[in-house]
Structures are given as C-alpha cells and as structure tokens.
Chains A and B, each alone.
Chain A
C-alpha cells in the first residue's frame, strides 16, 4: 500500500505531461533514473543524505527536461503525434546509453543505515526509509495538486489542458505553459528517482521499465486524474505483492501488463477518467 503512493509519484510526471499536452514522454523513466544517479553519487562521494539531495535531483532532471523541450520538441510540437513519440523515444535511448557509458550497467542502491531501522505501526513493521519515501511521495502529489488548484499559473495550465485554442484566445501564452509543464514533468521524475534508488535500485535499464509502468498506471487511472493515480498505484502495488506471494517474484511485472490489457478491453477510459 505504501509503495502504491510511490508508484503514483513515479508516474506523476508522465501522466501530467500527457494530460496537458497529449504528449507521451518516452524518456520519462530516464529523467527519473537521472535523479536517482545524482542522489547516489552525492551520497557516495560526499555522504550527503539522499533526502537532502532531492531538490537538486529534481532541479537537474527538470532542467534537462526543459532543455529537451526547448531544443527538440518545440520544433515538432505541431506535427504528427507519431513524431513526438519517436523523438522522446530517441532521447530516452540516448540518455540510457549515456548512463551506460558513463556509469556502467551496475545496479546502484542508495542505502543508508537509519533507513533500515524498523518502526512498529499497529502490528506491522515498517522501515523508516519506507516511511520517508512515502512522506515525500505524498507531499509531491499534494503540492502538485494545490499548485494546479490555487496558483494562477496552475489555473493557466489546467485551462490549456481543457482547450488549447480557447486558452490562447483568452491571452494565455500556451507555448510557455507547454514549456513549464514539460519542465515540471521532468522535475517530478527527478524527485522520484532518489526514492526509487532508496527502495530498490537504479540502473541504465530501469528507465524504460518505469516508463512502461507509468503509462500503465496513467491508463489505469484515467487520463488527467491525480486522485486516480494514487488509487491505481495502490492497486498495482498490492497486485504485484500478491503475485510475488502466490506465484513467483519473476512474474511480478506480468501482473501490471495483464491488468493493462484487461483495462484497455473493458474500460479504456480508465477507472477515474471520462468516457472517451
């Protein structure tokens, strides 16, 4: 259940960008892994607490995402949807192989002693690390939620998501909204990276798996529903845990995919989405 909320954070960036710009960022997982690597190296080289390196990881991944949009995506934003998919896919390949070249294929776990300490919570034991990551994830989701509801910029983003042309007519700079949204998407991914590194590991191959998982969750939740993401994250978390318990840990990834196919067949708008 706790892991479910982390899942929600992992895929928040992708769901956010898809919801607003109708662009699937295939490099999403790679931005997340970048955040993970940053926290890892800060810890290994200078012993910096991974929770403290969160802002830096988020800022850097957000920056890379921002540049990516500025240099490449902006130029083909208006062409076929297929192009943005292939472009971000290419960026993803570039990044994951760059990581491979720079930091080898080794898996990196961000391990700190205090995180292993167990805490008793009404009958079950939870490690401090799990609680910390849970808190960060929840905070991330809530901050995004209130940013979208309360601030002027957030409102502009929501309006753009509903109707681009109307937003542009009303004087909203939709180009800037896109740029901002893509930056925020990267920021959220960068925030998730260190958490993933703490709970399991990051490696150059992790990114694409995260992208797939994030897309599955987005579909499961229904496009544009943050509340749905948390519920979908929990369903996936619990389902995977049960697959591991009843079958085998090697079929863990299978659960999400089968669930995904069933959702596509039965209710393509997702659990909380509007009917398409």
Chain B
C-alpha cells in the first residue's frame, strides 16, 4: 500500500481539530476582523456537527436548519430584552424552544418516509421567517432588534472575561460550545440511541423489524440537533447584538452546514466541522472575490461535485469510520 493509505482515528482527528482551533489566533492573528470571521466559521462548524447528527448518523436530511438557528437567536434576544433573563439562562431556554420547534415539524413530517421531512422543514424555515417578519409587536418585524445585550462578565480564577468588547473571549466561547456539541454527539453516537440511529439510516424497514423504534429515534436525532443549532443561534444573537429576520433565518444557516458536512465527510463525526471551517474560509477569502453577489453559486457547485464524485468527502478517505 502506498504511504497515502495511513488512517487517522476519529478521536485523533477531532483532537487535532480542536488544538488547531485553540492555536489559530496565535498562529494567524488576533486582529478583530479575522477573529470575527473565525467566530462565524466556528458557529457554522457547530451547526454542521448538529446537522450531521441528523443527516450523517440518522439519515434524515434537513434543508431548513435556519429555522432552529433563527428561533434560538430571536428567543434568546427577546427573553433577555423583554423578560430580563440572564443571557446564559436565556440561551438554554432558547435552545429548549428550538426543541419545541423541532417537535412541531418533526411529528407530522416523520410519519412518512422519503423526502417529506426534507421539504417540510424547508417550508418550516420559510414560515418561521414570515412569522418573525409579521409579528411586529414581538419581533419588531423587518426593522430588527438592536442593542441585544452581550453575555455578562465572568470572573474565573481571578480573571475577568468580558464578552462585550473582546472578540477573543467570544472566539474561545464559540470554540468551547463546538467542543461541547462534539462531545454530546460523540457520546450519543456511541450509545444505544446512536446505534438505533445508524440502523435507521441503513434501512428503516429492517430497523423496525428488529425492534428499533424508528419514529422515536428520528425525533430524538432531530430534537438534539435542533437544540444545538438553536443554542448556536442564541450565541450568535448575543455576539452580534443585532437581529433581523433576514439575518437570523438566512438560507446560509441551512445551506452552509450541508456543504460543510458533505465536504468534510458525512460519515464521520468531526468531518462536518472541519468542512464548515474550510468552506467558511474559502467563502470569505476566495469565493467573494470572484462573484460578489452570487458567491453562493460555488456552494451549489461544490455540493453537486462532492455528492457525485466524492461522496465520502474530504476526510472520508483518511478517517476511519467509527
């Protein structure tokens, strides 16, 4: 065998990834402009992990994760502004509301097999955006919400971490959230529920034949995925301080995780986040230079090329499936 056939284990790849995330600002720059790009990349990486739990592990593709992202962002912002909740608590509450959204769409759509879920959730994202635009009394409609409070100061080990001005703390919090989501998904994948999910992806009929509760398994994958996505949405709201329906429910929150996951390797657990980090970087530094308005056409092209000619993705070749 050639030297190219070396294989990294899933854990090893994940370890390298998080070390790189830790070291990245030291290697490249602490310049706020670059940091803000890294932060959006980390947010996308986390959402990709969540998307992949549903699609890569459980076999249910979603075209509307923007719905959960937007729900999380708006819910957390409104809970802090209107109800005066602590932003950290609000983030968790917002993630729970994402779960509620997942149940609303998952229960009708998972009753059928095939493309029904993928398309219903696409419609769900559109409807959520529409509602946010029109429930002006609650959401300020298209004007958007300004001055969303940032996360409060944390005093830890005699040091103060400020989330208002410092991009660095926000960067590391985003990294920590991604790590937490990875751990959650890793342990879920290696539990009995994870096995059930893999069985459902393989063949639903066989799975239900050997006693896997197919419907319940799908719902579990969806709710966990929605929880993580809404959590990242909530983080985004407090980090960026401004929301409007077009930014919070932007189609990119649905599309980028798909591109990232496929590019990174849909069969692996860590691949999607690496894919998303790479794609986010490419988008910012390469694609946007080519076509300023239509730069997303590269995403579509990448999706088509990867799925036809390299369905295992970038890492699929080198990372052992676990």
Task: State the A residues within 8 Å of B (CB).
Answer: 18, 22, 24, 26, 72, 75-76, 79-83, 85-87, 89-95, 97-102, 104-105, 208-209, 211-212, 215-216, 219, 248, 250-251, 253-254, 257, 260-261, 264-265, 268, 276
CA distance A164 to B55 in the complex (A): 28
The A interface, classified by DSSP as helix, strand, loop or mixed, is helix
Known: A85-B63, A251-B134, A276-B112. 10 other contacts (CB 8 A): A24-B118, A81-B114, A86-B61, A87-B307, A89-B258, A94-B304, A215-B123, A250-B134, A254-B131, A257-B124
CA distance A24 to B113 in the complex (A): 13
Q: Check B299 against A90 for contact (C-beta < 8 Å).
A: yes
- A253 CB to nearest chain B CB (Å): 6
Q: Check A212 against B126 for contact (C-beta < 8 Å).
A: yes
- B217 CB to nearest chain A CB (Å): 16
Contact residues in A for B122 (Cβ distance below 8 Å): 208, 211-212
Q: Check A264 against B120 for contact (C-beta < 8 Å).
A: yes
Q: Which of B124, B299, B307 has the most chain A CB atoms inside 10 A of its CB? A: B307
A85 touching B118 in the complex, CB below 8 Å, given contacts A98-B294, A209-B126, A212-B123: yes
Task: State the B residues within 8 Å of A (CB).
Answer: 55, 59, 61, 63, 105, 107-109, 111-112, 114-116, 118-120, 122-124, 126-127, 130-131, 133-134, 251, 255, 258, 262, 291, 293-297, 299-304, 307-308, 311
A264 touching B61 in the complex, CB below 8 Å, given contacts A90-B300, A216-B123: no
Contact residues in B for A99 (Cβ distance below 8 Å): 294
Contact residues in B for A83 (Cβ distance below 8 Å): 307, 311
Contact of B262 among A86, A98, A254 (CB under 8 A): A86
CA distance A254 to B296 in the complex (A): 27
Contact residues in B for A98 (Cβ distance below 8 Å): 294, 297
Contact residues in A for B300 (Cβ distance below 8 Å): 90-95, 97
- Closest residue on chain B to residue A266 by CB atoms: B108
Q: Which 8 A-B pairs have the closest CB atoms?
A: A101-B294, A90-B303, A94-B300, A93-B300, A97-B297, A97-B294, A264-B108, A24-B115
- A242 CB to nearest chain B CB (Å): 17
Contact residues in B for A257 (Cβ distance below 8 Å): 123-124, 126-127
Contact of A90 among B114, B127, B251, B304 (CB under 8 A): B304
A76 touching B308 in the complex, CB below 8 Å, given contacts A104-B293, A257-B123: yes
Contact of B301 among A94, A102, A264 (CB under 8 A): A94
Q: Check A72 against B115 for contact (C-beta < 8 Å).
A: no
- Closest residue on chain A to residue B251 by CB atoms: A208
Pull 24 A–B residue pairs with CB atoms less than 8 Å apart, ordered by A.
A72-B304, A76-B308, A87-B304, A87-B307, A89-B63, A89-B258, A90-B300, A90-B301, A91-B300, A93-B255, A94-B304, A97-B295, A102-B294, A104-B293, A105-B293, A208-B126, A211-B122, A215-B115, A250-B134, A253-B126, A253-B127, A264-B108, A265-B107, A265-B108
CA distance A219 to B123 in the complex (A): 13
CA distance A159 to B122 in the complex (A): 32
Contact of B307 among A22, A86, A254, A260 (CB under 8 A): A86
Contact residues in B for A211 (Cβ distance below 8 Å): 119, 122
Q: Check A93 against B297 for contact (C-beta < 8 Å).
A: yes
Q: Check B296 against A93 for contact (C-beta < 8 Å).
A: yes
CA distance A136 to B145 in the complex (A): 46
